[in-house]
Amino acid sequence: MSDTLRETSLTNEHRTLGARLVPFAGWLMPVQYAGIKKEHEAVRSRAGLFDVSHMGEILVEGPQAVAAVDHLVTNDVSKLEVGRALYTTCCNQAGYILDDLIVYRLEADKVLVVCNASNRDKIVAHFAKNLSLGTPWNDVSDAWALLALQGPKAVAIMGNLGAPPEVLNLPYFHVTRSSLAGVELWVARTGYTGEDGFELFCASDDAVTLWRALLEAGESHGLEPVGLGARDTLRLEARLALYGNDISEQTHPFEAGLGWVVKLDAGDFIGRDALRAIKAAGLDRKLVGFEMTGRGIARHGYPIVADGKQVGEVTSGSPGPTVGRNIGLGYVPAALAKVGTGLGIEIRGKVVDAVVVSTPFYKR
Amino acid sequence: MTVTYPRDLQYTRDHEWARIEDDVIRVGITSYAVEQLGDVTLVDMPAPGEDVQAHERFGDIESVKTVSELFAPVSGEVVDVNAALESSPELVNEGPYEDGWLITIRPSDQGELEGLMDAAKYEEYLGTLDG
């Protein structure tokens, strides 16, 4: 069964730690260790360590690297300074979302693009086809591992490992070259949990060394390994979009609430004309956050109803362990998107009350 | 991993347990089911007085991650529902055979109990499941 699934350099570490491993986007990944709620709480109150080596990484190099990537994404990479990162969508010609990415300018002529595991093949093919001719690029996903250390104790744990001041004081959405536990790596102050923290890119061969060193350095701070289950509840509370749920090739950035990563006047990019037209036409529907006021948990795909008719669909939903309510995201007609609007969520044939709330559900 | 299951219970292929208590059958889910579900966050159950059918859905149990259907081990009338689960669904995780029970049923056909597995058979059955 599992022999058709890919494993990261850390899968055996997860087995040793007693993780439940499940298939995810073609990978065998830890969904939980001690339990989703416990892991979620660890990240909010202390720290959690994630193996997210399944994510895709593309390195684009050369004097044209910045301009070449800029042409493929909706945000403005042209002004991205060395050592900084930005969040962006990558759209097709029609302005619909192929993936959401973080773009890191590692060096003047070296740009790192991180994409979702589920979209790696698509994005690599998209880059191969559309990066301007002669721009050197490389899919380094297999050669690189990615660990995320997230939570209020993340800085202290990095300090325990002997991280230098430029790492400990690294501002949000910045990236720097460093070395930790004898491992050469790129350290970024980014993450997908709504907490402070770091993402660490190292060679796959060094992943076990770094993973073990971090767990050891974090032990006195209550660091726990965290699986994809809690990663999902953490990101949902922080209203961070999940590709395949909240955004897809059927959604565009404006209706997803991601208009802030579309820079229509900052140079041409794939999908710009279409997005300009979409913006001018106005929004039919919007991705809103809601919480259940009735007893029930909304899940991906459940119908959203108003006045007895289906008006939309839940894209993400689960209990929010920190906010203590059952929360969700879904697309509704623009007229129903205002905070305080009552909605119904159809749960196994029964309509349960919900209300549109402001997001993020959780803010540190 | 060798987990042993309580010897005084009967089991279904859907991972419910049944305990014969005088004239009612107490029903819950097994530690295997609890393990698969993770943190239980909500249990949807019938009201006392409703009828349930053997091997048919009588409710739903939700964890943080997923929702699963609950199947009745025997047919009959629901006598009692574990009201504590309304505010404390985690009782299912903490003690699936004790405070985490779900409902009691007054069976309409005692013969249906014969179709359930004993602990040894259930353990054998679990051994045949993948993963």
> pLDDT for A108-143, tens place per residue?
999 999 999 999 999 999 999 999 888 999 999 999
d(CA B131, CA B117): 21
For the cut 70, the answer to whether the pLDDT of residue A3 exceeds it is no
d(CA A30, CA A230): 10
Q: Which domain holds residue B77?
A: 10-107
Please give the structure tokens belonging to residue A35. Answer: 């339990």
Residue B3 is predicted with a pLDDT of: 73
Please return the burial class of A261, using the count of CB atoms within 10 Å of its CB with bins 0-12, 13-18 and 19+: middle
Asked if A295's CB is within 8 angstroms of B62's CB, the reply is: no
By the 8 A CB rule, do A275 and A262 touch?
A: yes
Residue A133 is predicted with a pLDDT of: 84
> pLDDT for A287-339, tens place per residue?
999 999 999 999 999 999 999 999 999 999 999 999 999 999 999 999 999 99
Please return the burial class of A346, using the count of CB atoms within 10 Å of its CB with bins 0-12, 13-18 and 19+: middle
Sign of the dihedral through C-alpha A296, A300, A302, A307: positive
Beta strands across the sheet bearing A223-225? A175-180, A183-188, A197-203, A144-150, A47-51, A223-225
Helix locations, A204-281, DSSP H: 207-218, 228-237, 272-281
Asked if B67's CB is within 8 angstroms of A299's CB, the reply is: yes
From the centroid of its chain, how far is CA A219?
A: 26
CA distance A195 to chain B (A): 20
Residue A7 is predicted with a pLDDT of: 97
The chain A residue lying nearest B62, using CA atoms, is A297
Per-residue pLDDT of chain B (131 residues; tens, 9 = 90+): 567 899 999 999 999 999 999 899 999 999 999 999 999 999 999 999 999 999 999 999 999 989 999 999 999 999 999 999 999 999 999 999 999 999 999 999 988 999 999 999 999 999 998 65
Q: Which of B38, B42, B131 sits opposite A297 (nearest CB)?
A: B42
Is there a domain that residue B66 lies in? yes
Is there a domain that residue B14 lies in? yes
| B-interface mutation test, from A36, A233, A234, most B Cβ less than 10 A away | A36
A321 to chain B: which residues are within 8 Å by CB?
Answer: 64
List the beta bridge partners of residue A289. A329, A357
DSSP A170: P
Domain A284-357: CATH superfamily is Aminomethyltransferase beta-barrel domains (2.40.30.110)
Q: B88-98 burial, b if ≥16 CB within 10 A, otherwise e?
A: ebebbbeebbe
Is there a domain that residue B70 lies in? yes
Could you tell me the CATH number of the domain that includes residue B51? 2.40.50.100
Q: pLDDT grade, residue A285 (50/70/90)?
A: very high
Q: How many Cβ contacts (< 8 angstroms) between chains A and B?
A: 35
d(CA A304, CA A302): 7
CA distance B117 to chain A (A): 27
From the centroid of its chain, how far is CA B5?
A: 13
Range in A3-7, A32-36, A138-142, B46-50 the model is least confident about: A3-7
| B-interface mutation test, from A33, A318, A325, most B Cβ less than 10 A away | A318
Is there a domain that residue B54 lies in? yes
| A-interface mutation test, from B65, B85, B94, B128, most A Cβ less than 10 A away | B65
Return the H-helix or E-strand segment holding A352. strand A350-357
Neighbours of A176 (CB within 10 A): 16
* Domain layout of chain A by residue ranges: 2-55+142-237, 56-134, 284-357
Residue among A258, A273, A364, A346 at smallest CA distance from A305: A346
Asked if B60's CB is within 8 angstroms of A318's CB, the reply is: no
**Whose structure tokens read 């102050």?**
A189
For the cut 80, the answer to whether the pLDDT of residue A2 exceeds it is no
Instruction: Tell me the DSSP string of B6-64.
Output: -TT-EE-TTSEEEEEETTEEEEEE-HHHHHHH-SEEEEE-PPTT-EE-BTSEEEEEEES
Residue B130 is predicted with a pLDDT of: 63
Residue A1 is predicted with a pLDDT of: 46
Q: How many domains does chain B have?
A: 1
Q: Which residues contact B83 (CB under 8 A, 6 or more apart)?
A: none
DSSP A149: E
List the beta bridge partners of residue A259. none
Q: Which residues contact A64 (CB under 8 A, 6 or more apart)?
A: A132, A134, A135
Residue A46 is predicted with a pLDDT of: 98
Q: Where are the beta strands (DSSP E) in A181-222?
A: 183-188, 197-203
Instruction: Tell me the DSSP string of A31-94.
Output: EESS-HHHHHHHHHHSEEEEE-TTSEEEEEESTTHHHHHHTTSSS--TTPPTTBEEEEEEE-TT
DSSP B112: G
Residue B110 is predicted with a pLDDT of: 87
Q: What average pLDDT does the structure give for chain A?
A: 97
The CATH number assigned to the domain with range A2-55+142-237 reads 3.30.1360.120
Is there a domain that residue B38 lies in? yes
Q: Which residues contact A110 (CB under 8 A, 6 or more apart)?
A: A59, A60, A61, A65
For the residues A250-264, what does the mean pLDDT come to? 98
The CATH number assigned to the domain with range A56-134 reads 3.30.70.1400
